[in-house]
Amino acid sequence: MTPSRPTLRYERALLRTGVTALACADEAGRGALSGPVSVGVVVVTAVTPTAPTGVRDSKLLTPARRQALVPKIALWAAHAVGMASAQEIDRIGIVPALRLAGQRALSALPVAADAVLLDGNHDYLTPPDQPSLFGDGPDVRVPPVITKVKADLRCAGVAAASILAKTARDAVMVELSSDFPQYQWEVNKGYGAPDHVAALRRWGPTAHHRRSWQLPTGPLCGDSRTGTAPPPVSSSPVVSNAAPSTGERAMK
């Protein structure tokens, strides 16, 4: 059964409660073995028109269709994408890294949101009561967060945010693949596809792998024992608050 087209019905209901600028957010890359995690944000207000035709959860769209929608979404609503690198994920953990990426996206918005609609049932954006020992994140106030399961399927603002998060992250992985062609990131986008796992077993992890995770290793993986990776290795973090560019299809 084909999912129904997402609408702004839920977003507009929230706006009628007194919210003036609703930041709709979704992430990409949470389950990948390498590369950054990204959070896309799209702002919906009382004057935001119906979403561009074709906006859906990014997982339901082809790479070409996702990319074609990016400029339409950019014209449709205020938006931003924030990222946290694999090194940051290793240092602070995946949930704090999601928070960091989301805060970077919120701080990059041209307007201040007074509420966030977040896909899923877990609020990873609101800082915990106990401050982080790592002191990460921009100095940005996170407004009240409303979580909604399957919001990327039902809410057009969240679906649009999922497209921005996905295409921005895919573009990073395509760029990184030119330095590390053996991992085929231009195809698998850093997820645990068989070709990626086989390359990890043979070559070991790069600086862009999430080394704190239980990465696949094997008898052919000599480099992983010393913590080195096949050349070339870049240790600079991959962090971007810019609008997304090109990308290929991959699992979210």
Per-residue pLDDT in tens (0 to 9) along the chain, 252 residues? 456 899 999 999 999 999 999 999 999 999 999 999 999 999 999 999 999 999 999 999 999 999 999 999 999 999 999 999 999 999 999 999 999 999 999 999 999 999 999 999 999 999 987 555 555 556 678 999 999 999 999 999 999 999 999 999 999 999 999 999 999 999 999 999 999 999 999 999 999 999 999 898 765 444 433 334 444 333 333 333 333 333 333 344
- Judgement on whether residues 54 and 143 belong to the same structural domain of the protein: yes
Q: What is the pLDDT of residue 252?
A: 46
Q: What is the pLDDT of residue 141?
A: 84
Count of structural domains within the chain:
2
- Judgement on whether residues 167 and 192 belong to the same structural domain of the protein: no
Report the C-alpha gap between 233 and 121 in whole angstroms: 37
Whole domain around residue 98: which residue ranges? 9-176
Report the C-alpha gap between 238 and 87 in whole angstroms: 9
> Does residue 215 form part of some domain?
yes
- Output the six-digit token pair for 55: 């906006």
Q: What is the pLDDT of residue 137?
A: 59
pLDDT digits over 106-133, tens only?
999 999 999 999 999 999 999 987 555 5
- Judgement on whether residues 172 and 71 belong to the same structural domain of the protein: yes
Instruction: Specify whether the CB–CB gap between 161 and 148 falls below 8 A.
Output: no
Domain end: 157, 176, 195, which one?
Answer: 176
Report the C-alpha gap between 45 and 87 in whole angstroms: 36
Instruction: Specify whether the CB–CB gap between 216 and 191 falls below 8 A.
Output: no
> Does residue 241 form part of some domain?
no
- Judgement on whether residues 105 and 212 belong to the same structural domain of the protein: no
Pairing status of strand 37-44 against strand 115-119: unpaired
> Does residue 56 form part of some domain?
yes
Q: What is the pLDDT of residue 84?
A: 98
Residues in the chain: 252
- Judgement on whether residues 157 and 37 belong to the same structural domain of the protein: yes
> Does residue 65 form part of some domain?
yes
- Judgement on whether residues 68 and 170 belong to the same structural domain of the protein: yes
DSSP assigned state of 43: E
Identify the helix (H) or strand (E) that includes residue 41: strand 37-44
Q: At 132, which CATH number?
A: 3.30.420.10
Q: What is the pLDDT of residue 118?
A: 98
Which residues share a beta bridge with 38?
Answer: 28, 83
